[in-house]
Every structure is written in C-alpha cells, then in structure tokens.
C-alpha cells in the first residue's frame, strides 16, 4: 500500500532501502540535536555536533568515549533561546567558510509520557510540547540560514504517533502531529531554495531507548494518581487506573531493541541524492495499522482498533 516514492514503505524493518546515488559527505558538517541519532553521521561527516539536553547523560559519555576529533558534544536545552544561540555561534565559528553553510540538521530531541486525557495535567501537556514541538521549531529556525546556504537537509524525527493517535498518549501525539505539519510546511517553503526536508516516523522503539523502566513507569503513575482531582479518582477508580498502567508497561516491553532501521533511515535522508519525504522504520504491525488508520474511514479503523 504505497502511494508514490515520498510516502514509501521502504523503511519497514525487514525491508532494505533501495540503492540510490549517495552524496559525498566527507566535507560537510552535521548537527544532531539528540543523542541516539548521533551515530548517523559519525563516519560520514567532517564535523558532527551533538547537542544533548543533559551534558552528564549516558549518551554523552558514550559519544565522548569514541575519542573522535570530528565529533563534538555541546550543551543545548532546545527550549532555551540563549542556549540555541550559543550553540549556533559555536558551530558558525567552527565552519571553515560559514558562507558555504551547514549541510544537515537532525531534530531528535524529545521527551514523552503516558496518561489518558483526564489523567494528564496541563503542565505535562505544555512540558512535552515545549521540547518536542517548539524546541524543534526554534532550533530549525535558528539554523535555517546556514542550511539554506549549503542547500542542505533538515531531518525531523517524528513518530508513528504523529500519523495516528493512540489511547493514553495524547501529550506525545499532539506534539508529533505538530512536527509533521511543521515539516510539511517547511518542505514546501524550502523546495524552491534547494533544501530538502524529511520526516522519520519510527514505530515502537521504546525498549531500545531505555526511557521507560518498570520503576520509572510506576513512579510516573504514582505521581499522576496522587495529583488527580478527587472527582476523576472517584469516577474511574484505582482498578481502572492500575490496568491502564499495566497496559503501558506491556507496550514499553514489546518494542524493538534494534535501532538500526531508524539510523539507516536518517542516514539515507542525509546522504541520498533523492531522499524520501517520509521514512517508516517500524515492524509490519505498526505499518499496517498506520495505513489503515490514515487511509480508511475513521469508522472502519475505530471498529478494528477501538471497539
């Protein structure tokens, strides 16, 4: 079920990306905002900047241990404009010829949580959006002048949850739907300027990221329950709430632990002469579900997945 080259199924885990003309990246500089995708450009870019949210995190230590003179980690909170400006200046000053610009920007920074709408505070909605959506917009806007000069690439990491909604994930889904819309608008605007914009929509890779241990899920759930309005606790009951938490634990343990399909997709988007508009690194369950929920009437997909 494929509708043209740009909306392709070639990113499904068990399928390989087709051979394409590859661009020589030995003389280009990449910025990867978020640690997991930083492995993408390590062997291809002349310079690779990886701005993590937490300079003391395990991902930073892993990259620093590579001891590469082409790799540099710099502190960046994507929500803080002063830090974005500081990193921009660091990168601009590191370019041999700033007028030639910056080849690639990968927006990978993101956070997530879980909880049904009535279980989720407005503060949580705003916190997730501040990083996942507005952080992506802010970093992209800051680096676009350099990207335009190089006629380079912007790669935004979205999610299958940016194409189809799911229960207990509304804070995350809202932001990823926003990243999809932002990426489409940016792609339209950058096309006449020679800049290519791609979106990578991973399936369930939570197990590979180690973001949600059972202890972490339980800690989030306990805090959420304690902060619920009394009327919500009374109407839903603790049994219903606990069952929802167990479903989230099962979901987190069921995902793929192999990140290579995502890394291959990002690499292709940065180095192929003809990158795709969207990449779908996911297993067949999520790919089929996404096709059904995005191409068939809602009454049909609701019948299959909700009723």
Q: Are 178 and 190 in contact (CB under 8 A)?
A: no
Domains of the chain (ranges, CATH numbers): 29-205+258-305 (3.40.50.720), 213-255 (no CATH)
Residue 85: predicted pLDDT:
97
Residue 158: predicted pLDDT:
98
* DSSP string for 16-42: PPPP-PBPP-TT-EEEEESSGGGGGST
Residue 57: predicted pLDDT:
58
Whole-angstrom distance, CA of residue 196 vs CA of residue 168? 34
Residue 280: predicted pLDDT:
98
Per run of 10 residues, the mean pLDDT along the chain (length 307 residues) is 39 39 47 58 59 59 67 87 95 89 93 95 98 97 97 97 96 98 99 98 88 87 97 98 93 87 95 97 96 97 90
279 is known as an active-site residue: no
**Rg of the Cα trace of the chain?**
20
Residue 74: predicted pLDDT:
83
Helices (H), the chain: 58-64, 81-94, 122-129, 136-150, 170-190, 206-209, 214-227, 230-254, 260-271, 284-295, 298-305
Tokens 């080259």 sit at which residue? 5
| Cβ partners under 8 Å of residue 126, min gap 6 | none
Tokens coding 32: 């990867």
Largest CA distance in the chain: 63
């Amino acid at each position: 079920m494929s509708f043209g080259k740009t909306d392709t199924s070639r990113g499904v885990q068990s399928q390989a990306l087709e051979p394409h003309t590859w661009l020589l990246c030995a003389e280009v500089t990449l910025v990867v905002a978020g640690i997991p995708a930083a492995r993408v450009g390590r062997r291809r870019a002349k310079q690779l900047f990886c701005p993590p949210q937490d300079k003391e995190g395990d991902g930073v230590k892993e990259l620093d241990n590579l001891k590469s003179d082409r790799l540099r980690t710099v502190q960046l909170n994507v929500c803080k404009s002063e830090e974005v400006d500081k990193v921009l200046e660091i990168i601009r000053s590191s370019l041999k010829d700033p007028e030639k610009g910056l080849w690639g920007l990968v927006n990978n920074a993101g956070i997530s949580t879980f909880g049904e709408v009535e279980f989720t505070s407005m503060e949580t909605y705003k916190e997730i959006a501040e990083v996942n959506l507005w952080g992506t917009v802010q970093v992209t806007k800051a680096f676009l002048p350099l990207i335009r000069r190089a006629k380079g690439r912007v790669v935004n990491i979205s999610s299958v949850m940016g194409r189809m909604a799911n229960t207990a994930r509304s804070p995350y889904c809202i932001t990823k739907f926003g990243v999809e819309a932002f990426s489409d608008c940016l792609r339209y605007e950058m096309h006449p300027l020679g800049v290519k914009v791609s979106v990578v929509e991973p399936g369930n890779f939570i197990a590979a990221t180690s973001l949600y241990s059972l202890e972490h899920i339980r800690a989030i759930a306990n805090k959420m329950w304690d902060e619920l309005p009394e009327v919500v606790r009374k109407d839903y009951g603790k049994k219903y709430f606990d069952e929802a938490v167990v479903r989230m634990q099962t979901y987190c343990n069921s995902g793929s632990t192999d990140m290579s399909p995502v890394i291959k997709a990002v690499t292709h988007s940065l180095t192929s002469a003809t990158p795709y508009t969207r990449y779908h690194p996911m297993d067949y369950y999520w790919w089929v579900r996404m096709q059904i929920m995005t191409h068939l009437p809602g009454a049909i997909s609701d019948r299959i997945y909700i009723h």
